[in-house]
Structure 1
Amino acid sequence: MTLLTALLNGAVALSTAKIPAKRQSLIILILLIIASANSFLHLWFSEASEHSTNIFVTIIASGIVLSNRAHWTASILFNWVGWITISVWLELALIQHFFFAMAMSTLLSWFAHLARKKLVTKQIELEIERDLAIQHELEAKAATETKSAFLANMSHEIRTPMNGVIGMIELVSQTELNTDQKNYLATAKRSADSLLIIINDILDFSKIEVGELTIEFVEFDLEQFFEELIHDQHFHARKKGLTLALSKGDFHHRHVVGDPYRITQIMNNLLSNAIKFTESGGITVHYDLVTLGDNLQLKVEIKDTGIGVSETALPFLFDSFSQADTSTTRKFGGTGLGLSITKQLCELMNGDISVKSQLNQGSTFSFSVRLKPPRQTHKMASKPPVPVSFEGLQVLLVEDNEINQEVMLAILKGLDVNVFIANDGLEALATLSHSQRLKFDLILMDCQMPNLDGYEATRRIRAGEAGEIFSHIPIAALTANVMDSERVKCIEAGMNEYLTKPVKIEALKSVLVKYHKQAPAQH
């Protein structure tokens, strides 16, 4: 009986083990046959008909653990043939006294087998669904990674020449020009900026899709933020003869913590649309700040007297690549991504956006975003003025693109910076290795370069391969990849700062002034 119990327990355990189904079923059948044979031996030697109970148990167990129809049939036949043979051979009255019990055991085994088969079939279906889900998840992950890599590459390939275009325009604008030349240049600058906005919209939309876009939290002056933002839009409004008015609610938190860049993006999208679709009258902007527990909520309302939106178009206004109608696209242009990105940015900042509009009656866009109060209630210190000259600052520019070299060289020399150029990471390491007496104050490091990219070059510099004297030198990334993961990648490689192409001169100056102050301590 002990052996029978052990064999049956082993069969039950195997039925839940992770072994191929056919092999598992065959092993269980062998164990059940051994268990039955053991019972027959007990019956043979004892000639006690009550030992038939073990046979009944084995038959029922066959139905419980066997899902393969052929194997179950083999087990049942083996038990019946063995039971009848021993009964006849030993002249025991087994069939007379226990036939009903044997038949009921077989019937119970049949029902158990059907239930087991149904359960196994369901498990197989679930495993197939799980495997498909895992496969789809892996495929989706691979597709997302491929898309991210494609976006990063497209960002680099598009923004790198844009750096040359915008950089050269800014450099030319600083030279002596007549009125016509200034007008031509201003038009070129606006066109380049418009192209950059379209590129940024497409990249931002794609970043949101792949979960790459993150919200930052920095402290800023809310009143100054809106005043500067409206001031920047006044030019476009005045050009069309429109008024642009700003008003604020009665609130006390002038300084807040949030993402001013993304709020600017929302405001510029809404204001540029309001100006674009308004031919006469004006635009009013009202903002307010309300307290929500430990947080703050910024509420903004932008009202225009423009062409409005029809009731049929309103439900689709925030959809991707959506505009009111094709005539709107032909007349006013645009990708149809601005409002979609605006809505998603609001949602990323725990807010929302809505619109009220009637055709030819104007529109009112209202949005909210979540902000935080500053940790300290004191007034933020005003930023020190950025010096015009950085005389004495030694910078190593690591850049493989000749046009970008020319642009950066002109900008840096215009700021009185001493510039040395390396065409890739290997040249940068060689330049530093042979310049142990020339203490550079800063490295401007392009990230995607042939031979040795900026990430690996930075890691080697930090490891002391260019000399221990440069292992802690400040390194600023100079990249055309604007994906959020790129910033993390640069920091993990050991870079201190992060500048994106096209490089904004003010952003470059803020990095230079930071290390210009440290320069004397390094010499």
Structure 2
Amino acid sequence: MLKNNRIIRRLFGEQFDIQHRLLNIIILVGMLGVSFACLMSIVLHQNSFTQILSFTCLGLFILIFWIANSLKRSQLAIIVFSIIFDNFILPSLYIASGGIEGGMPLWCLLGFVFPFLLIKGKSSIVVFIISISEFIALVIYSYYHPEIIMKMPSIKMVYFDMVMTMIAVVVIIASIFAYQTHIYQKQQKAIIKSVREANSAIKQKQDFISNVSHDIRTPMDSIIGFTELAKKNINNPEKLLDSLQKITLASDHLMNLINEVLDISKIDSGKSVVEDEMCSIHEIIDEVCQMMQHEVEKKKLKIELDYSMLDEDVLSCDRIRLNQILLNLVSNAVKYSYEGGTITIAVIQLSSDDESRIVNEFHVRDEGCGMTPEFIEHVFEPFARDKTSLVSAEGTGLGLTIAKSLTEIMGGTIEVVSELGKGSEFTATIPLSIPQLTEIEEEQDIVIYDFKGRRVLVVDDNQLNREILVEAMREEGFIVDEAIDGSFAIEKLRDSEPGTYELVILDLQMPVMDGFETAKIIRSFQEPKVSGIPIVALTADALPEEKTRAFNCGINAYLVKPVDMPSLLKVLMLFFRENKRS
């Protein structure tokens, strides 16, 4: 049975166009019919000419089958078949099988239809005109010269030939129509499925836009509202600080929403990659808890941590990805927890067949509203929301989708157990590498660095972004010059003494001259103090290929906006440590 299915797929699979598949049907049915005709010509002692033609016809079918399926030249096979069959085989059989009185007219009619079924374009009309013209000429010639027609030995043979021809032609036509109907119905089902999927995608997109629109407006309202309050309370330090803290929280929430959309886009396009480094499981979970602290306090929740089954704390893994996975799981637990509930985060480590790796089970359990069995099947789908949930939650509906995708990218799995009204437990199982002792290095403490008097050139076309960065850097002691695009930056570097600027902070997406071109020109300067100046890129583009492009242009460091000042200073400190003051 399996072998038969393999043969069917090989001859009638989707890798062939409809003409090729129809040709295979005609060849197979024709080979059966001609084989039977060859056998009957021997049994009935038909004349040698008829027998030779029958076997020649069988050979033609085999040749055409070989050209179409072994040489993969279906159109060549079809044209060769139509020309030889319609213009040589059929006329010869017409003469040898009683002419108009036998079954050959039916075969000829079928032969004339073949070009339209099998040959593409205008070639089908050309082949048809040649074939029908030759047949009409043959009929007219045989009418005036009946002696060329070989009569059947008896009237019984005439009827027998007509019946057998009729059966064979009907079988071929029925097979063609049945197969075309099958293909049509299959295509209709595929079209209907595609339309449904497209409609579903459109609805998901509409829901997504609606959700994102709502969820973005919420923190934006907070930012605008607390900004106004901050303006009114500029002389009240306590209220001013409170407003600024709430603006920061709303900004972080807004950034998380944007990151979720970007993350799912990168995952869908296959651009999300794993970058392993030494990291502490304790630290990652603590970071997640700190990020969720405001939301946890707002709902008066309690987070319990269980490290009793954690033996190896320092492991080699993608810190950012693991953080994202746990953050999305904990965020989901917080969203669907009742006020005053408890969320438990537990880590269980299991041994694996590979001694250099350890299996980590990250359990996130809540006592919230839980899920229906029907919704559990869709919980990891994009934009999925349980409409029966008693708890309303904000978000894009992408968090669990991202968590599942990232877990799979890291070679793990994710599962959920939930009971309506009692809560849910998500388990991400991820194998991670145990680092060798020589790989583990203690990270040096960040020391306070004196940036006073360090001269930096900031290049950014966005005036607001430039002002914020320049002011923040001046407060740290930097001497800062500004340029509104790459061309102005190049002009400043040319006009100043070599070594005036110790570092360039460069936006990549700018009009006139972008950051990539600017970096290339800087690296082409003859003066080493200019061509060798460190360049730090600040960009809103987080795609890996843009990062690679930046490094290829000579950029030394690549930071994705928004960048907090401590992170930027940490990078700048590395360059200034290498380049001591002259």
The two structures have a TM-score, normalised by structure 2, of 0.62
SS of the residue corresponding to residue 433 of structure 2 reads coil
Quick check: 1:251–1:288 contact (8 Å CA) kept in 2?
yes
Match for residue 428 of structure 1 among 489, 495, 512: 489
Take 1:74 and 1:374, find their aligned partners in 2: how far apart are those partners? 77
Match for residue 115 of structure 2 among 49, 68, 72: 68
Is it true that 1:399 corresponds to 2:464 in the alignment?
no
Take 2:269 and 2:380, find their aligned partners in 1: how far apart are those partners? 19
1:132-143 to structure 2, matched below 5 A, reads none
What residue is the counterpart of 2:317 in the other structure? 258
Is it true that 1:322 corresponds to 2:385 in the alignment?
yes
Quick check: 1:299–1:366 contact (8 Å CA) kept in 2?
no
CA shift in 2, pair 1:231/1:83, >3 Å = closer
Quick check: 1:447–1:454 contact (8 Å CA) kept in 2?
yes
Match for residue 342 of structure 1 among 382, 403, 410: 403
Take 1:14 and 1:278, find their aligned partners in 2: how far apart are those partners? 68
SS of the residue corresponding to residue 575 of structure 2 reads helix
CA shift in 2, pair 1:456/1:483, >3 Å = same
Take 1:18 and 1:230, find their aligned partners in 2: how far apart are those partners? 65
Quick check: 2:112–2:131 contact (8 Å CA) kept in 1?
no
1:161-200 to structure 2, matched below 5 A, reads 178-200=237-259
Deviation larger for 214-223 or 12-21 = 12-21
Match for residue 376 of structure 1 among 409, 428, 436: 436
CA positional deviation for 1:265: 2.7
Overall identity of the aligned pairs, in %: 23
CA positional deviation for 1:425: 1.9
Deviation larger for 507-516 or 211-220 = 211-220
CA shift in 2, pair 1:67/1:119, >3 Å = farther
What residue is the counterpart of 1:413 in the other structure? 474
Take 2:391 and 2:174, find their aligned partners in 1: how far apart are those partners? 64
Give the letter aligned to residue 220 of structure 1: C
CA positional deviation for 1:489: 4.3
CA positional deviation for 1:303: 3.4
What residue is the counterpart of 1:147 in the other structure? none
Structure number with higher relative contact order (C-alpha < 8 Å, ≥ 6 residues apart): 1
Quick check: 1:396–1:419 contact (8 Å CA) kept in 2?
yes
CA positional deviation for 1:392: 5.4
CA positional deviation for 1:446: 1.0
What residue is the counterpart of 1:477 in the other structure? 537
SS of the residue corresponding to residue 199 of structure 1 reads helix
Quick check: 1:251–1:290 contact (8 Å CA) kept in 2?
no
Quick check: 1:346–1:367 contact (8 Å CA) kept in 2?
no
Is it true that 1:351 corresponds to 2:413 in the alignment?
yes
What residue is the counterpart of 2:304 in the other structure? 245
Quick check: 1:395–1:443 contact (8 Å CA) kept in 2?
yes
Quick check: 1:66–1:116 contact (8 Å CA) kept in 2?
no
* Offset from partner CA, 1:74-126 (integer Å, 9 cap, x none): 64773686499489769668446799799899889968985997799799989
What residue is the counterpart of 2:569 in the other structure? 509
Q: In the comparison of the two structures, how many residue pairs are matched?
A: 477
What residue is the counterpart of 1:438 in the other structure? 499
Take 1:385 and 1:117, find their aligned partners in 2: how far apart are those partners? 78
Take 2:420 and 2:239, find their aligned partners in 1: how far apart are those partners? 42
Take 1:516 and 1:31, find their aligned partners in 2: how far apart are those partners? 84
The two structures have a TM-score, normalised by structure 1, of 0.68
Take 1:338 and 1:37, find their aligned partners in 2: how far apart are those partners? 69
Quick check: 2:540–2:562 contact (8 Å CA) kept in 1?
yes
CA positional deviation for 1:237: 4.4
Give the letter aligned to residue 559 of structure 2: L
CA positional deviation for 1:450: 1.2
Take 2:342 and 2:168, find their aligned partners in 1: how far apart are those partners? 85
CA shift in 2, pair 1:229/1:88, >3 Å = closer
CA positional deviation for 1:478: 0.9
What residue is the counterpart of 1:296 in the other structure? 358
Give the letter aligned to residue 570 of structure 2: S
CA positional deviation for 1:20: 11
* Offset from partner CA, 1:255-309 (integer Å, 9 cap, x none): 21222223223333343454553422543322122233333332122334x4432
CA shift in 2, pair 1:107/1:368, >3 Å = same
CA positional deviation for 1:60: 8.8
What residue is the counterpart of 1:78 in the other structure? 134
Deviation larger for 215-224 or 98-107 = 98-107
RMSD over aligned Cα atoms: 5.6
Take 1:38 and 1:452, find their aligned partners in 2: how far apart are those partners? 76
Unaligned runs of 5+ in 2: 1-55, 117-124, 203-208
Unaligned runs of 5+ in 1: 44-48, 144-149
Quick check: 1:309–1:324 contact (8 Å CA) kept in 2?
no
CA positional deviation for 1:327: 6.2
Quick check: 1:386–1:513 contact (8 Å CA) kept in 2?
no
Match for residue 456 of structure 1 among 517, 522, 531: 517
What residue is the counterpart of 1:308 in the other structure? 369
CA positional deviation for 1:401: 0.8
Is it true that 1:388 corresponds to 2:472 in the alignment?
no
Give the letter aligned to residue 216 of structure 1: E
SS of the residue corresponding to residue 284 of structure 1 reads strand
SS of the residue corresponding to residue 302 of structure 1 reads strand
